[in-house]
Amino acid sequence: MELEISEFIFKTGAGAFAGLLMGLERQVKGKPAGLKTNMLVALGASAFIIISLLFKDTGGTDMTRIVGQVVVGVGFLGAGVILHGEEGKKVEGLATAATIWCSAAAGCFAGFGLYLPLLIFTIFVVVINLVFGYLNSKLKDHTNNN
């Protein structure tokens, strides 16, 4: 069980950077989970994957279990940013919770050293948040004006 420090720095750095890109849009929009949250989620997910990889050659190790545990654990964080307003009639924070979930997935890509999928995935998340966030606001404006 040995871990090259340069590999550790590169993998966790890639995860944290992906989290930064995903969290930047949330931060600019003033959402409850922005830069720091998304960076830490991606960093933590990459670290858990790296730790699990240290045990890949030991007997009876199921490498998929740690990914499943990351998904479940991040679900609790996402639930924390979903806010209920107007006596339970309005649910807010779903896109932010989904972005946190995606940050964890990005951290998993980074932890496994899957850098091209990490880049493509990060671009998808940022573009979806920007484009559909813009469209969503325009549709709300249109609906409120009618």
pLDDT band at 84 (very low <50, low <70, confident <90, very high): low
Domain chopping of the chain, boundaries: 5-145
Instruction: For residue 91, give the 3-state DSSP assignment.
Output: strand
Report whether pLDDT(19) > 90. Answer: yes
Q: How far is CA 14 from CA 9, 65, 96, 139, in A?
A: 8, 22, 21, 35
Question: In this structure, what token pair is assigned to residue 88?
Answer: 């339970």
Exposed (0-12), middle (13-18) or buried (19+): which is 1, by Cβ within 10 Å? exposed
Inter-CA distances, 84 with 61, 93, 95, Å: 41, 9, 14
Higher-scoring residue by pLDDT: 134, 28: 28
Average pLDDT, the chain: 87
**Segment 52-77, tens digit of pLDDT:** 898 887 877 777 888 888 888 888 88
Q: Indicate the pTM of the whole model.
A: 0.86
